[in-house]
Amino acid sequence: MSVSRSKGRGTPTPRPARAATSDDASSAAGATGTGRVVAFVALAFGLSWGVGAALAGLPVLAPDGIFIAGVPLAALTVLAATEGRAGLRDLGRRLIRWRVAARWYVLVVAAPITLVGVACALLPLVGGRGSDWTRLPSPTSTLALLGVLLVLPVGAPVGEEIGWRGYALPRLLARRSAAVSAVALGVVWALWHLPLVLSDPLTREPVPFLLQIVPLSVLFTCVFVHTNGSLLPAVLFHACFDVALASAAPTLAVDDYARLWWALLVLQTLAAAAVVGFGGLRAGAVGDARVSTATRRTSQLNQT
């Protein structure tokens, strides 16, 4: 409570303190949410870049499975420490939530095949040799790879999505627009890949590979906000991209890899621009897509 002096007198009169507003509470909750995302990112980078490499007896530029495991371990650690069982249950439910519109399953399978296929088809137009489709892996081996990626708990699709779309994205969406959240997360996601790129720059041309992750994050965010925050479509989307790239690799000459990443950068940027331009990042009636139940509960607790 503050005081003020009345006219003509030296006696101070009490002035009621300004009541806390909902904007104050929202700002505090947003700051708390941002701090937790920062903590997750710092821990993920620390585990992947530092501790994981040290335990494996390898330099940070030679990452392996321990590198990928840093992301889900960081997400689960921060989530357990800040939201407890409720947060962990919410994440688990969203990981297996399969009841989403069928068109999104079609999209997350078809989009990676289309983007990688078109990129390969464009290579001769930019000086490449083009694809030798006779070297395409068999359908059996392709499906086997997809199956492994979908169930491997610390593999790239499942492990990464637990952290990036499972933990970080809904908390970014709670206070920021979908476009800003997608780009911010895309930058972090790209930087996290830096050791992978530097360990094999021939396969992953550094500049286009890192840049294409940002528009790719926009596409992932579009899927996320339209599937009620479910992680299953995101995992399938990620796995299908990995499988499409793994299938295309043996059909290409080594010196075409760089051209492939530049082509994907262009195509994914165009796709992301179309998504933003046509309002594809607006969830519409999907209430839970912007922030999960556990996150909303935590925000409410922060406001009390």
pLDDT in tens, 242-300: 999 999 999 999 999 999 999 999 999 999 999 999 999 986 433 344 444 444 544 44
pLDDT value at position 181?
A: 97
pLDDT at 194 over 80: yes
Lowest-pLDDT range of 87-96, 151-160, 251-260:
151-160
Instruction: Give CA–CA dist 19/22, Å, rounded.
Output: 10
Q: Is pLDDT above 80 for 148? A: yes
Return the minimum-mean-pLDDT range out of 70-74, 209-213, 230-234, 282-286. Answer: 282-286
Residue 14 lies inside a defined structural domain of this protein: no
Tokens 């069982």 identify what position? Answer: 85
1 found inside a domain? no
C-alpha to C-alpha distance for 167 and 78, rounded to whole angstroms: 9
Domain contains 10? no
Encode pLDDT of 42-72 as tens digits. 999 988 887 656 555 555 554 556 788 889 9
- Whether 2 is in a domain gets the answer no
Q: Which of 37, 21, 20, 19 is nearest to 175 (CA)?
A: 37
Number of domains in the chain: 1
Residues 77, 196: contact at Cβ < 8 Å? no
- Quote the tokens at residue 120: 């390969």
The closest of 165, 185, 189, 167 to 176, measured between CA atoms, is 185
Indicate whether 7 belongs to any domain.
no
Mean pLDDT for the stretch of residues 174-184: 95
Q: What DSSP element (H or E) covers 41? A: helix 22-45
For residues 49 and 63, give the distance between their C-alpha atoms in angstroms, rounded to a whole number: 8
Does residue 5 lie within any of the structural domains?
Answer: no
Neighbour-count burial of 2, counting CB atoms closer than 10 A to its CB (0-12 exposed, 13-18 middle, 19+ buried): exposed
Domain with 248, as residue range(s), is 22-303
Structural contact between residues 166 and 231, judged by C-beta atoms closer than 8 angstroms? yes
